[in-house]
Protein backbone atom coordinates (compact mmCIF):
# COMPACT_ATOMS: atom_id res chain seq x y z
CA UNK A 1 0.00 0.00 0.00
CA UNK A 2 1.36 3.43 -0.92
CA UNK A 3 2.55 5.93 1.63
CA UNK A 4 -0.26 8.02 3.10
CA UNK A 5 -3.05 5.86 1.71
CA UNK A 6 -4.10 3.82 4.72
CA UNK A 7 -6.95 4.21 7.14
CA UNK A 8 -7.58 2.67 10.52
CA UNK A 9 -10.65 0.52 10.88
CA UNK A 10 -12.10 -1.50 13.72
CA UNK A 11 -9.64 -2.35 16.49
CA UNK A 12 -7.08 -0.07 14.91
CA UNK A 13 -6.30 -2.40 11.98
CA UNK A 14 -5.23 -0.72 8.77
CA UNK A 15 -7.59 -1.37 5.89
CA UNK A 16 -8.81 0.16 2.66
CA UNK A 17 -12.20 1.88 2.57
CA UNK A 18 -15.14 -0.51 2.97
CA UNK A 19 -18.67 0.05 1.66
CA UNK A 20 -20.68 2.13 4.12
CA UNK A 21 -23.50 0.56 6.08
CA UNK A 22 -27.01 1.14 4.76
CA UNK A 23 -27.87 3.53 7.57
CA UNK A 24 -25.14 5.93 6.37
CA UNK A 25 -25.50 5.33 2.63
CA UNK A 26 -27.08 8.73 2.03
CA UNK A 27 -25.11 10.74 4.57
CA UNK A 28 -22.57 13.35 3.58
CA UNK A 29 -18.91 12.60 4.23
CA UNK A 30 -16.53 14.96 5.96
CA UNK A 31 -12.78 14.82 6.48
CA UNK A 32 -11.46 16.77 9.47
CA UNK A 33 -7.75 17.36 10.00
CA UNK A 34 -6.17 18.02 13.37
CA UNK A 35 -8.67 15.84 15.17
CA UNK A 36 -6.28 14.67 17.87
CA UNK A 37 -6.13 18.19 19.28
CA UNK A 38 -8.40 20.07 21.66
CA UNK A 39 -10.85 21.56 19.14
CA UNK A 40 -10.60 18.57 16.81
CA UNK A 41 -12.19 16.09 19.20
CA UNK A 42 -15.18 18.35 19.76
CA UNK A 43 -15.45 18.90 16.00
CA UNK A 44 -15.73 15.16 15.40
CA UNK A 45 -18.41 14.87 18.09
CA UNK A 46 -20.43 17.73 16.56
CA UNK A 47 -20.15 16.33 13.02
CA UNK A 48 -21.29 12.90 14.19
CA UNK A 49 -24.25 14.43 16.02
CA UNK A 50 -25.40 15.83 12.66
CA UNK A 51 -25.42 12.44 10.98
CA UNK A 52 -22.27 12.99 8.94
CA UNK A 53 -19.88 10.18 8.10
CA UNK A 54 -16.68 11.42 9.71
CA UNK A 55 -13.09 10.59 8.81
CA UNK A 56 -10.43 11.97 11.14
CA UNK A 57 -7.04 12.84 9.65
CA UNK A 58 -4.22 12.27 12.13
CA UNK A 59 -0.49 11.63 12.16
CA UNK A 60 0.72 8.15 13.06
CA UNK A 61 2.31 9.61 16.19
CA UNK A 62 -0.91 11.32 17.34
CA UNK A 63 -2.67 10.41 20.56
CA UNK A 64 -6.15 9.22 19.62
CA UNK A 65 -7.67 8.37 23.01
CA UNK A 66 -10.71 10.59 22.49
CA UNK A 67 -11.19 9.53 18.86
CA UNK A 68 -11.02 5.85 19.78
CA UNK A 69 -14.27 6.31 21.73
CA UNK A 70 -16.08 7.89 18.76
CA UNK A 71 -17.61 6.44 15.59
CA UNK A 72 -15.00 7.92 13.28
CA UNK A 73 -12.53 6.38 10.83
CA UNK A 74 -8.90 7.34 11.36
CA UNK A 75 -7.07 8.43 8.23
CA UNK A 76 -3.30 8.71 8.41
CA UNK A 77 -2.21 11.91 6.68
CA UNK A 78 1.28 12.99 5.70
CA UNK A 79 0.98 16.64 4.69
CA UNK A 80 4.30 16.43 2.85
CA UNK A 81 3.05 13.58 0.67
CA UNK A 82 0.72 15.24 -1.85
CA UNK A 83 0.22 12.07 -3.90
CA UNK A 84 -0.60 10.05 -0.79
CA UNK A 85 -3.15 12.64 0.35
CA UNK A 86 -4.67 12.73 -3.14
CA UNK A 87 -5.12 8.95 -3.03
CA UNK A 88 -6.94 9.18 0.29
CA UNK A 89 -9.14 12.02 -0.95
CA UNK A 90 -9.97 10.19 -4.17
CA UNK A 91 -11.01 7.05 -2.29
CA UNK A 92 -12.90 9.01 0.34
CA UNK A 93 -14.88 11.11 -2.12
CA UNK A 94 -15.58 13.69 0.59
CA UNK A 95 -18.28 16.34 0.46
CA UNK A 96 -16.67 18.58 3.08
CA UNK A 97 -13.20 19.17 4.47
CA UNK A 98 -12.39 21.11 7.63
CA UNK A 99 -8.69 21.89 7.79
CA UNK A 100 -8.23 22.29 11.52
CA UNK A 101 -4.62 21.09 11.78
CA UNK A 102 -2.08 23.74 12.65
CA UNK A 103 0.93 24.67 14.72
CA UNK A 104 0.41 27.07 17.64
CA UNK A 105 3.81 26.82 19.38
CA UNK A 106 7.24 26.62 17.77
CA UNK A 107 10.77 27.83 18.32
CA UNK A 108 11.34 28.97 14.75
CA UNK A 109 9.33 31.17 12.40
CA UNK A 110 9.94 28.67 9.59
CA UNK A 111 8.06 25.94 11.46
CA UNK A 112 4.90 28.06 11.66
CA UNK A 113 4.94 28.81 7.94
CA UNK A 114 5.69 25.21 7.01
CA UNK A 115 2.77 23.77 8.96
CA UNK A 116 0.23 26.58 8.76
CA UNK A 117 0.81 27.81 5.21
CA UNK A 118 2.72 25.22 3.18
CA UNK A 119 0.68 22.27 4.44
CA UNK A 120 -2.49 24.12 3.40
CA UNK A 121 -0.99 24.60 -0.06
CA UNK A 122 -0.13 20.89 -0.23
CA UNK A 123 -3.66 19.90 0.82
CA UNK A 124 -5.24 22.14 -1.83
CA UNK A 125 -2.95 20.64 -4.46
CA UNK A 126 -3.92 17.14 -3.30
CA UNK A 127 -7.62 18.08 -3.60
CA UNK A 128 -7.02 19.14 -7.19
CA UNK A 129 -4.98 16.03 -7.99
CA UNK A 130 -7.79 13.89 -6.62
CA UNK A 131 -10.31 15.81 -8.76
CA UNK A 132 -12.41 16.14 -5.61
CA UNK A 133 -15.53 18.27 -6.09
CA UNK A 134 -16.12 19.65 -2.63
CA UNK A 135 -19.30 21.25 -1.35
CA UNK A 136 -17.16 23.27 1.06
CA UNK A 137 -13.62 23.66 2.40
CA UNK A 138 -13.33 25.35 5.79
CA UNK A 139 -9.96 26.69 6.88
CA UNK A 140 -9.49 27.24 10.60
CA UNK A 141 -7.43 30.39 10.96
CA UNK A 142 -7.24 32.65 14.01
CA UNK A 143 -7.96 36.16 15.22
CA UNK A 144 -4.16 36.28 15.51
CA UNK A 145 -4.01 36.51 11.70
CA UNK A 146 -5.45 40.03 11.94
CA UNK A 147 -3.93 40.87 15.31
CA UNK A 148 -5.40 42.92 18.14
CA UNK A 149 -7.72 45.90 17.85
CA UNK A 150 -4.96 48.10 19.26
CA UNK A 151 -3.94 48.90 15.68
CA UNK A 152 -7.46 49.62 14.35
CA UNK A 153 -8.65 53.23 14.33
CA UNK A 154 -12.23 52.24 15.17
CA UNK A 155 -11.16 49.98 18.04
CA UNK A 156 -12.45 46.71 16.59
CA UNK A 157 -11.12 44.12 14.14
CA UNK A 158 -13.34 43.59 11.09
CA UNK A 159 -13.12 41.66 7.85
CA UNK A 160 -12.26 44.95 6.12
CA UNK A 161 -9.52 45.84 8.63
CA UNK A 162 -5.89 45.92 7.61
CA UNK A 163 -4.30 42.88 9.29
CA UNK A 164 -1.62 43.56 11.87
CA UNK A 165 -0.50 40.21 13.31
CA UNK A 166 1.89 40.48 16.25
CA UNK A 167 3.20 36.90 16.28
CA UNK A 168 4.75 34.53 13.75
CA UNK A 169 1.79 32.24 14.38
CA UNK A 170 -0.55 35.02 13.28
CA UNK A 171 1.62 35.91 10.28
CA UNK A 172 1.66 32.30 9.09
CA UNK A 173 -2.13 32.04 9.39
CA UNK A 174 -2.52 35.30 7.46
CA UNK A 175 -0.23 34.02 4.70
CA UNK A 176 -2.34 30.86 4.48
CA UNK A 177 -5.53 32.93 4.24
CA UNK A 178 -4.08 35.09 1.50
CA UNK A 179 -3.18 32.00 -0.50
CA UNK A 180 -6.59 30.38 -0.05
CA UNK A 181 -8.46 33.51 -1.15
CA UNK A 182 -6.77 33.24 -4.55
CA UNK A 183 -7.98 29.67 -5.19
CA UNK A 184 -11.07 30.37 -7.24
CA UNK A 185 -11.88 26.71 -7.92
CA UNK A 186 -12.22 25.82 -4.22
CA UNK A 187 -15.49 26.73 -2.43
CA UNK A 188 -14.02 27.90 0.85
CA UNK A 189 -14.79 29.69 4.09
CA UNK A 190 -12.41 30.89 6.79
CA UNK A 191 -13.12 31.04 10.50
CA UNK A 192 -10.97 33.03 12.91
CA UNK A 193 -11.56 32.04 16.54
CA UNK A 194 -10.46 34.21 19.41
CA UNK A 195 -9.15 32.44 22.55
CA UNK A 196 -10.90 29.04 22.68
CA UNK A 197 -11.45 27.35 26.03
CA UNK A 198 -13.30 24.41 27.52
CA UNK A 199 -12.69 20.89 28.83
CA UNK A 200 -9.47 19.28 27.55
CA UNK A 201 -7.83 22.67 26.91
CA UNK A 202 -4.53 23.12 28.73
CA UNK A 203 -3.18 26.59 27.92
CA UNK A 204 -5.59 28.37 30.28
CA UNK A 205 -5.18 25.57 32.80
CA UNK A 206 -2.05 27.38 34.02
CA UNK A 207 -4.24 30.35 34.96
CA UNK A 208 -6.67 28.16 36.89
CA UNK A 209 -3.86 26.37 38.71
CA UNK A 210 -2.12 29.65 39.62
CA UNK A 211 -5.33 31.04 41.07
CA UNK A 212 -5.83 27.79 42.97
CA UNK A 213 -2.50 28.59 44.65
CA UNK A 214 -3.88 32.01 45.67
CA UNK A 215 -1.69 33.92 43.18
CA UNK A 216 -3.47 36.35 40.86
CA UNK A 217 -1.02 37.61 38.24
CA UNK A 218 -1.69 40.32 35.65
CA UNK A 219 0.52 41.20 32.71
CA UNK A 220 0.88 44.91 32.01
CA UNK A 221 -0.15 47.87 34.12
CA UNK A 222 -3.34 48.72 32.21
CA UNK A 223 -6.50 46.66 31.74
CA UNK A 224 -7.05 44.46 28.71
CA UNK A 225 -10.19 43.77 26.73
CA UNK A 226 -10.19 40.02 26.17
CA UNK A 227 -12.49 37.89 24.04
CA UNK A 228 -13.29 34.20 24.30
CA UNK A 229 -15.35 31.50 22.64
CA UNK A 230 -16.40 28.26 24.29
CA UNK A 231 -15.34 25.21 22.29
CA UNK A 232 -18.87 23.83 21.87
CA UNK A 233 -20.10 27.13 20.44
CA UNK A 234 -17.11 27.21 18.10
CA UNK A 235 -17.59 23.75 16.61
CA UNK A 236 -21.32 24.29 16.24
CA UNK A 237 -20.65 27.45 14.23
CA UNK A 238 -18.00 25.68 12.16
CA UNK A 239 -20.42 22.96 11.07
CA UNK A 240 -23.12 25.56 10.38
CA UNK A 241 -20.70 27.40 8.10
CA UNK A 242 -19.63 24.23 6.32
CA UNK A 243 -23.22 23.21 5.62
CA UNK A 244 -24.38 26.71 4.62
CA UNK A 245 -24.65 28.16 1.12
CA UNK A 246 -22.24 30.98 1.93
CA UNK A 247 -18.86 30.78 0.22
CA UNK A 248 -15.62 32.75 -0.05
CA UNK A 249 -16.17 34.57 3.24
CA UNK A 250 -14.20 34.87 6.46
CA UNK A 251 -15.68 35.07 9.93
CA UNK A 252 -14.40 36.12 13.35
CA UNK A 253 -15.97 34.29 16.26
CA UNK A 254 -16.27 35.20 19.96
CA UNK A 255 -19.14 34.90 22.42
CA UNK A 256 -20.02 38.50 21.51
CA UNK A 257 -18.65 40.01 24.72
CA UNK A 258 -15.35 41.46 25.91
CA UNK A 259 -13.95 40.85 29.37
CA UNK A 260 -11.18 42.09 31.60
CA UNK A 261 -8.71 39.63 33.09
CA UNK A 262 -10.15 40.64 36.47
CA UNK A 263 -13.62 39.50 35.40
CA UNK A 264 -12.30 36.17 34.18
CA UNK A 265 -10.31 35.57 37.34
CA UNK A 266 -13.31 36.43 39.53
CA UNK A 267 -15.33 33.68 37.84
CA UNK A 268 -12.52 31.13 38.17
CA UNK A 269 -12.00 31.97 41.86
CA UNK A 270 -15.70 31.58 42.58
CA UNK A 271 -15.84 28.19 40.84
CA UNK A 272 -12.73 27.05 42.70
CA UNK A 273 -13.99 28.35 46.03
CA UNK A 274 -10.98 30.65 46.40
CA UNK A 275 -11.75 33.43 48.89
CA UNK A 276 -8.44 35.31 48.75
CA UNK A 277 -5.51 35.79 46.39
CA UNK A 278 -2.30 37.79 46.24
CA UNK A 279 -2.64 40.19 43.26
CA UNK A 280 0.60 40.76 41.33
CA UNK A 281 1.01 43.17 38.41
CA UNK A 282 3.94 42.31 36.16
CA UNK A 283 5.36 44.95 33.80
CA UNK A 284 5.65 43.78 30.20
CA UNK A 285 9.43 44.18 30.22
CA UNK A 286 9.76 41.87 33.22
CA UNK A 287 7.48 39.26 31.62
CA UNK A 288 9.54 39.46 28.43
CA UNK A 289 12.75 38.81 30.39
CA UNK A 290 11.13 35.85 32.15
CA UNK A 291 9.89 34.48 28.82
CA UNK A 292 13.34 34.87 27.25
CA UNK A 293 14.95 32.97 30.11
CA UNK A 294 12.25 30.29 29.99
CA UNK A 295 12.92 29.74 26.30
CA UNK A 296 16.66 29.38 26.86
CA UNK A 297 16.25 26.95 29.75
CA UNK A 298 13.57 24.91 27.96
CA UNK A 299 15.74 24.84 24.84
CA UNK A 300 18.25 22.68 26.67
CA UNK A 301 15.64 19.94 26.93
CA UNK A 302 14.15 20.47 23.49
CA UNK A 303 10.85 21.77 24.87
CA UNK A 304 9.02 25.02 24.21
CA UNK A 305 7.63 26.72 27.35
CA UNK A 306 4.03 28.01 27.67
CA UNK A 307 5.42 31.48 28.47
CA UNK A 308 7.51 32.47 25.45
CA UNK A 309 8.27 35.61 23.45
CA UNK A 310 5.38 34.91 21.06
CA UNK A 311 2.99 34.70 24.01
CA UNK A 312 4.33 37.97 25.43
CA UNK A 313 3.56 39.69 22.13
CA UNK A 314 -0.05 38.56 22.54
CA UNK A 315 -0.21 39.48 26.22
CA UNK A 316 1.07 43.00 25.66
CA UNK A 317 -1.88 43.74 23.31
CA UNK A 318 -4.63 45.57 25.17
CA UNK A 319 -7.72 44.86 23.05
CA UNK A 320 -8.86 41.71 21.23
CA UNK A 321 -12.33 42.92 20.23
CA UNK A 322 -13.59 41.78 16.83
CA UNK A 323 -16.76 42.00 14.74
CA UNK A 324 -18.96 38.87 14.85
CA UNK A 325 -21.95 40.41 13.04
CA UNK A 326 -21.22 38.67 9.67
CA UNK A 327 -21.45 35.32 11.46
CA UNK A 328 -24.71 36.35 13.06
CA UNK A 329 -26.12 37.55 9.74
CA UNK A 330 -25.05 34.59 7.59
CA UNK A 331 -25.71 31.59 9.85
CA UNK A 332 -27.72 33.14 12.67
CA UNK A 333 -24.95 32.46 15.17
CA UNK A 334 -25.99 32.89 18.80
CA UNK A 335 -23.57 31.59 21.41
CA UNK A 336 -25.03 29.35 24.09
CA UNK A 337 -22.16 30.05 26.48
CA UNK A 338 -20.86 33.30 27.91
CA UNK A 339 -17.61 33.20 29.89
CA UNK A 340 -19.33 32.55 33.21
CA UNK A 341 -21.29 29.57 31.91
CA UNK A 342 -18.35 28.17 29.94
CA UNK A 343 -15.86 28.46 32.79
CA UNK A 344 -18.28 26.79 35.17
CA UNK A 345 -18.38 23.74 32.89
CA UNK A 346 -14.63 23.88 32.30
CA UNK A 347 -13.65 24.12 35.97
CA UNK A 348 -16.02 21.26 36.79
CA UNK A 349 -14.14 19.12 34.26
CA UNK A 350 -10.79 20.21 35.72
CA UNK A 351 -11.95 19.22 39.20
CA UNK A 352 -13.24 15.85 38.01
CA UNK A 353 -9.86 15.15 36.45
CA UNK A 354 -7.98 16.41 39.53
CA UNK A 355 -6.18 19.14 37.58
CA UNK A 356 -7.04 21.90 40.08
331 secondary structure, DSSP code = H
Decide which of 3.30.110.40, 3.40.50.720, 1.20.1260.10, 3.40.50.300 is the CATH code for 7-199+227-255+321-336: 3.40.50.720
What is the distance between the alpha carbons of residues 327 and 314, in angstroms, rounded to a whole number? 24
Q: What is the pLDDT of residue 14?
A: 38
What is the distance between the alpha carbons of residues 252 and 270, in angstroms, rounded to a whole number? 30
Q: What digits encode the pLDDT tens for the residues 187-204?
A: 999 999 999 999 999 989
**Using an 8 Å Cβ cutoff, are 75 and 55 in contact?**
yes
Q: Phi, psi (5° rounding) for residue 319?
A: -150, 120
Closest Cα partner for 161 from 175, 184, 143? 143
Helix residue ranges per DSSP H, 132-186: 168-180
**Using an 8 Å Cβ cutoff, are 72 and 33 in contact?**
no
pTM of the model: 0.89
Q: What digits encode the pLDDT tens for the residues 111-166?
A: 999 999 999 999 999 999 999 999 999 999 999 999 999 999 999 999 999 999 99
Q: Phi, psi (5° rounding) for residue 141?
A: -100, -140
Q: What digits encode the pLDDT tens for the residues 7-63?
A: 444 334 333 343 333 334 448 999 999 999 999 999 999 999 999 999 999 999 899
Amino acid sequence: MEKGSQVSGENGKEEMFKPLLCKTMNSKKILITGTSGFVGGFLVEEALSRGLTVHSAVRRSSKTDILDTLDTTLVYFDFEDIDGMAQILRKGSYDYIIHNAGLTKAKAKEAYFKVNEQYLRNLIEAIRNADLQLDKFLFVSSLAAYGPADYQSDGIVKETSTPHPVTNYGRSKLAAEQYLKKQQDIPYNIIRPTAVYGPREYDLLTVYQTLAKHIEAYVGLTKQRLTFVYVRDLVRAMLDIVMSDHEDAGYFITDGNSYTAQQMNAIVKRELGITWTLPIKLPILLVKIIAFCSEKIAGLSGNYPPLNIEKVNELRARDWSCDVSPLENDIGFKPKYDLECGLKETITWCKENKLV
